[in-house]
Structure 1
Amino acid sequence: MPAASQLPPLPEGACNAHCHVFGPRDRFPYAEGAFAPAADAPKEALQALNDRFGFRRCVVVQSACHGFDNRATADAVAARPADYRGIALLPADVPDAELARLDAAGFRGVRFNYMGHLGHKTPIEDVLALAARLAPLGWHLQIHGDPGLLTELGPALRRSPVPVVIDHIGRIDAGAGLDQPAFRALQGLMDDERFWVKVSGCDRITREGPPYGDALPYAQRLVADHGDRVLWGNDWPHPNHAGPVPVEEELVALIARMAPTAEARQRLLVDNPERLYRFG
């Protein structure tokens, strides 16, 4: 396994577009009834990780452990306001004034979780009603769910007035092949230019485990077919992980295999996040 210093250099302005912060719990208590991480994962640790690998930019996604209290994420974004952006967890009836406040604080979208272990699932019509209020802000929806979600909610999500980002390659099963229904559904959504996908979570969809070779073909196909709407993130600190916690160097090493040319890496790590999250 290569050390960080031995990995291919990242392009200037590279963005880690999916990670989280937890706590610290003495400042930002965990939500009642939510999973409580064994250890805090504060902004300083996230900054150190990004700096070690050369990710100047970062997108901090609100963790379910904090529920709708987005203060920990806002605090992480505020520490590096030019280069960090936030994705919120919010109820669908959030007031417009709160959306405006979060926009000024560097937030650019709202995530909706449809994984069973993450609690409440917002009805899709409520999500779309909120999306209409996100449009004037230039925000987007971020959708996280199991593979069946792509077929179940895909038709409704095509009505979204804002971009829709699909998390973690749609959580497909890496062992089921490129022709599996869930991946075909994801590819079908990606043919609609309102959809984006994060080629993150290879460690979550793998059957083989590290170095995640069985997950790589899906990321490669998405980068090849939809290179202007793909994003990469390492998902640090890997919440609710079923297998061994990934080694960060192994995840970063996948980038050059997903996106084998300098041009593809520039789009994946710089141009695409710059466009979606409005850096600069």
Structure 2
Amino acid sequence: MTDAAQTWHPSPHDTSVRLPSGATDTHCHVFGPQAVFPYAESSSFKPADAPKEVLFALHDRMGIDRCVIVQSGCHGFDNRVVADAIAARPGRYLGIALAPPDISSDALKMLDAQGFRGLRFNYMSHLAPGADEAALRALAPRLADLGWHLQLHMEDSLIAPMSACLADLPVPVVIDHIGRIDASRGRDQPEFAALLGLLEHDHVWCKVSGAERASRQDPPYADAVPFAREIVETFPDRVLWGTDWPHPNYRAAPPDDGDLFDLLPQIAPKPALMQALLVDNPARLYGFKEAT
């Protein structure tokens, strides 16, 4: 067990935003409980438990109908914790797995049957290294055959160097958290230009989650909103949103999730943009059925 601090806000305020039917949180995590789902010994990140029941309660309170849970590095390649959460809300919850790039076809099929729809690789200095270019090129057709996608979490300085490879892959590519850009550096920074350039390719998507990470300000993270809004307005059919609950490795005290939900009308300022961001795009990429 760990004595790490809790990474989620214990009492977020209710959002004033009325979400559309079928609203989807496409990026969140579950940690433990460690007595059932122990952390990987190799993980340097060992947070306090953030079990599925707390996540479900947050979603029910805020008006989230569907969800994509992303396997966390603290659990390594043991994806049982996410599979367990998916099974508790079948059809409504799906997952993104962590696995080595040479994962067997049988293992991929097993994950697919459990409700996983993609593989994630991290390219962040505080996390285990992701797959190299050769491995990504070998893996991409195998993911495409399953109808899966590739999800990447990368330092903003890596967007430009990785763009040529990612633009050439025969599978949908999802970039996490606005490319982890630093909002304090302004609209004209080269990292944001590289992200916009990568998004010109029709198979590349972006999660406009993580405004609190891009921001260098206190809530309501106003400096990050224009970046997310520009991406949503420029590429409305290839954007996704998520809470990133329970906010692992956040720079300060856990953000109030109510603040993050309250940003949605600023990020997607028209009803059609909100519908695409929260309902239609997730349904198309992950294979959710029509809005309930």
Output the TM-score relative to the length of structure 2.
0.93
Given the alignment, which residue of 109, 114, 136 partners 2:118? 109
Cα distance per residue 1:120-146 (max 9 Å; x no partner): 332121022111111111000000011
Instruction: Please state how far the C-alpha of 1:35 moved relative to its aligned partner.
Output: 3.2
Instruction: Please state how far the C-alpha of 1:62 moved relative to its aligned partner.
Output: 0.3
Secondary structure of 2:196's counterpart equals helix
Instruction: Please state how far the C-alpha of 1:87 moved relative to its aligned partner.
Output: 0.2
Specify the alignment match of 2:94 in structure 1.
85
Secondary structure of 2:117's counterpart equals strand
Secondary structure of 1:238's counterpart equals coil
Secondary structure of 1:8's counterpart equals coil
Q: Is the 8 A contact 1:35 1:64 kept in 2?
A: no
Cα distance per residue 1:152-211 (max 9 Å; x no partner): 111111111100000000000101111110100000011111100000011111111211
Specify the alignment match of 1:182 in structure 2.
191
Given the alignment, which residue of 245, 249, 253 partners 1:240? 249
Cα distance between partner residues in 2 of 1:54 and 1:8: 9
Cα distance per residue 1:34-86 (max 9 Å; x no partner): 13434101111111111110001000000000001100011111111111010
Q: Is the 8 A contact 2:124 2:153 kept in 1?
A: yes
**Match status 1:261 vs 2:270:** yes
Instruction: In structure 1, give the amino acid aligned to 2:28.
Output: C
Q: Is the 8 A contact 1:174 1:207 kept in 2?
A: yes
Cα distance per residue 1:211-234 (max 9 Å; x no partner): 100000000100110011100001
Q: Is the 8 A contact 1:34 1:66 kept in 2?
A: yes
Runs of 4+ in 1 over 4 A off after TM superposition: none
Specify the alignment match of 2:215 in structure 1.
206
Q: Is the 8 A contact 2:17 2:261 kept in 1?
A: no
Specify the alignment match of 1:137 in structure 2.
146
Cα distance per residue 1:1-54 (max 9 Å; x no partner): x942x5121000000010000011111110012134341011111111111100
Given the alignment, which residue of 49, 59, 62 partners 2:71? 62
Specify the alignment match of 1:224 in structure 2.
233
Given the alignment, which residue of 20, 30, 37 partners 2:39? 30
Cα distance between partner residues in 2 of 1:208 and 1:55: 27
Q: 5+ residue gaps in structure 1?
A: none
Instruction: In structure 2, give the amino acid aligned to 1:198.
Output: K
Specify the alignment match of 2:6 in structure 1.
none
Cα distance between partner residues in 1 of 2:155 and 2:75: 21
Relative distance call for 1:85 and 1:9 in structure 2 (3 A) is: same
Instruction: In structure 2, give the amino acid aligned to 1:18.
Output: H
Secondary structure of 1:68's counterpart equals coil
**Match status 1:52 vs 2:61:** yes
Specify the alignment match of 2:205 in structure 1.
196
The CA RMSD over aligned residues, in Å, is: 1.1
**Match status 1:75 vs 2:84:** yes
Q: Is the 8 A contact 1:197 1:229 kept in 2?
A: yes
Instruction: In structure 2, give the amino acid aligned to 1:274.
Output: A
Secondary structure of 2:126's counterpart equals helix
Indicate the percent of aligned positions where both proteins have the same amino acid: 55
Instruction: In structure 2, give the amino acid aligned to 1:67.
Output: G
Q: Is the 8 A contact 1:163 1:196 kept in 2?
A: yes
Instruction: Please state how far the C-alpha of 1:243 moved relative to its aligned partner.
Output: 2.1
Instruction: In structure 1, give the amino acid aligned to 2:101.
Output: A
Specify the alignment match of 1:99 in structure 2.
108
Q: Is the 8 A contact 1:148 1:182 kept in 2?
A: yes
Instruction: Please state how far the C-alpha of 1:148 moved relative to its aligned partner.
Output: 1.0
Instruction: Please state how far the C-alpha of 1:119 moved relative to its aligned partner.
Output: 1.6
Deviates more, 1:73-82 or 1:269-278: 73-82
Cα distance between partner residues in 2 of 1:214 and 1:64: 29
Given the alignment, which residue of 257, 260, 273 partners 2:282? 273
Instruction: Please state how far the C-alpha of 1:109 moved relative to its aligned partner.
Output: 0.4
Instruction: In structure 2, give the amino acid aligned to 1:123.
Output: D
